[in-house]
Amino acid sequence: MKGAMKNLFECKRCGFCCHGETTVSLDDEDQERMIAALGMPREEVAEKYWRITGSCVQMKVVDGHCIFYKDGCSVHPGRPGRCRQWPLHEAILLDETNFNIIRESCPGIDQDVSYARFCELVKEYNSKKEPG
Ligand code: SF4
Ligand code: SF4
């Protein structure tokens, strides 16, 4: 994260967003980025790290967290777009409740930031798609 965002969000590496029984899904661009970062053939990456259900590709879950979570993200340069975007999720723009839930779950967000200010950041980030 850069600029103004740096003052309002700084990941504390608590791992909350990497836990759960499913992960974000990977689109084609995410898959190619991850393959390049791991430096392995697609088949090997798919077998070791992906859970493929029909056309949906997610990362495997091990012990209740994403397979890449090891005191932080072990595939950081190759992580999916949704992980890069977090916590600037578009759902925040729809409802302040979504913002409150995300803010409470992510200790990296300045807990005093206003809803209006955070909406501005979400819009700014998503218009630039700046790598995190
Ligand atoms: S919940 Fe927030 S602070 Fe914790 S790892 Fe995820 S982005 Fe970082
Ligand atoms: S790819 Fe990295 S940031 Fe995304 S869920 Fe897995 S460990 Fe977390």
Q: Residue 59's pLDDT is what?
A: 98
Mutational test site, ligand 2, from 14, 71, 83, max ligand atoms within 8 Å of CB: 83
- DSSP secondary structure string, 85-114? HTT--THHHH-HHHHHHHHHH-TTB-TT--
**Amino acid, res. 13:** R
Phi, psi dihedral angles at 13 (to 5 degrees) = 60, 35
How many separate domains does the chain show? 1
Distance 15 CA to ligand 1 centre (A): 6
pLDDT of 131 higher than 60 = no
At 50-65, the pLDDT tens digits run 999 999 999 999 999 9
Q: Residue 94 is part of which domain span?
A: 2-128
* pLDDT tens by residue, 66-96: 999 998 999 999 999 999 989 988 899 999 9
